[in-house]
Amino acid sequence: MLDVARANAEKILQNVRKVIFGKDEIVELALTALLSRGHLLIEDVPGVGKTTLAKSLARSLGCQFRRIQFTPDLLPSDITGVSMYNQKTGEFEFRPGPVMAQIVLADEINRASPKTQSALLECMEERQITVDGVTHAMPRPFLVLATLNPIEYEGTFPLPEAQLDRFLVRLSLGYPGLEDEMAIMEAQQRQHPVDGLGQVVSAEDLLALQEEVTTVRVDVLVREYIARLVEKSRSHPAVYLGASPRGSLALFRSGQALALLRGRDYVLPDDIKALAVPALAHRLILEPSARMEGKASKQVVEEALANLPVPGARPSPMLRR
């Protein structure tokens, strides 16, 4: 089963790389989040390919896809849906909003007000929404791919801490290199390459991949390494509020997915080190004095990694004899 899962994951990676040039590590981390049943936040300046990455992932997976363009006048009911009275039946009927899809692209999520952003809290965490006291289950799989412009730009609202904590990882694409930028221009000479991107796996294949991820072994020493890393980031003098146990679980789950993508049925400390910044940095709130000094949460996680010993390999039972 591991070989089949790895082959399907490789199909998705190769398909997305037809559109996203020179960002193989970012594409791998994005797929890691999806295989972990987690939601993905892509934060960067406008124009570097955030929406393109989200759309290419959605097209590759063959799932029901909806896009929500977040704007300042968007209301929570525009996302979740409403209950409307049907005069023929004499009953209220639920009209689902665009969030009732398998893959939801929340484009420029920080352009909506915090009230509207909070409409995603329940569905992202509990895979359900409640409208007028009635709970509706989300489809499976359910994944939110959100793009975000940096908060220093006008017309945006910072995401509340509770909202940020719902995202398994936060990624940044960054500017392409010289050769990659030339390749982008060549690829888009006639049409955008994402328009010709096809489906490579089915929704059932994705669910099977997510199930296979849970079978990847995480040794007790690796679990301890995760817990110590999160604890060390909490106790950093620059941190006002550290990551909750949700941060530890994010590292645990994403570590399993990354190991599978790399062809292993066990997690290494190197997997956790690769995921530490994407999975933890956005969950840390720094002291005001640290922010004034220009310190970033990424630096805090990197310092915690540098000061934490990496666990060694445990001897197998055969060697103990």
Query: How high is the mean pLDDT of the chain?
Result: 85
- Angle subtended at Cα 109 by Cα 76 and Cα 282, rounded to the nearest 5 degrees: 120
**pLDDT per residue as tens digits for the range 209-224:** 889 999 999 999 999 9
What DSSP string runs through 274-301? Answer: HHHHHHHGGG-EE-HHHHHTT--HHHHH
How far apart, in whole angstroms, are the C-alpha atoms of residue 152 and residue 159?
12
Domain spanning 1-193+202-215: CATH superfamily? P-loop containing nucleotide triphosphate hydrolases (3.40.50.300)
Contact (CB, 8 A) for 206 and 63: yes
Phi, psi of 35 (to 5 degrees): -70, -20
Cα radius of gyration rounded to whole Å, the chain = 21
Contact (CB, 8 A) for 187 and 20: no
- Entry field: residues in the chain: 321
Q: Estimate the share of the chain in helix, then strand, then coil, as percent rounded to the nearest 5.
A: 50, 15, 35
pLDDT at residue 117 in the model: 86
How far apart, in whole angstroms, are the C-alpha atoms of residue 257 and residue 216?
8
Phi, psi of 224 (to 5 degrees): -65, -35
Q: Which of 243, 245, 251, 223 is nearest to 300 (CA)?
A: 243
How far apart, in whole angstroms, are the C-alpha atoms of residue 95 and residue 239?
43
What percentage of the chain exceeds 90 in pLDDT?
17
- Quick one: pLDDT band at residue 319, thresholds 50, 70, 90? very low
In this structure, the strands spanning 91-96 and 81-86 are: antiparallel
- Is the domain spanning 216-310 CATH 1.10.8.80? The answer is yes
Average pLDDT of the residues in 132-136: 84
Average pLDDT of the residues in 12-20: 88
Q: Which of 279, 276, 164, 295 is nearest to 238 (CA)?
A: 295
Structure tokens at 81: 């849906």
pLDDT at residue 249 in the model: 93
pLDDT at residue 152 in the model: 56
Helix axes 297-306, 220-234, angle to 10 degrees: 130
pLDDT at residue 151 in the model: 61
Torsion of Cα atoms, 45 then 50 then 285 then 247, to 10°? -160
**pLDDT per residue as tens digits for the range 176-204:** 888 888 888 888 888 888 888 888 988 88
pLDDT at residue 193 in the model: 82
pLDDT at residue 192 in the model: 83
How far apart, in whole angstroms, are the C-alpha atoms of residue 186 and residue 181?
9
pLDDT at residue 229 in the model: 92
Structure tokens at 218: 């995480």
pLDDT at residue 315 in the model: 46
pLDDT at 27 over 80: yes
Note the Cα 199 to chain centre separation in Å.
Answer: 20
Q: Provide CATH 1.10.8.80 ranges for the chain.
A: 216-310
pLDDT at residue 2 in the model: 74
Phi, psi of 231 (to 5 degrees): -65, -40
Q: Provide CATH 3.40.50.300 ranges for the chain.
A: 1-193+202-215
Phi, psi of 265 (to 5 degrees): -105, 20
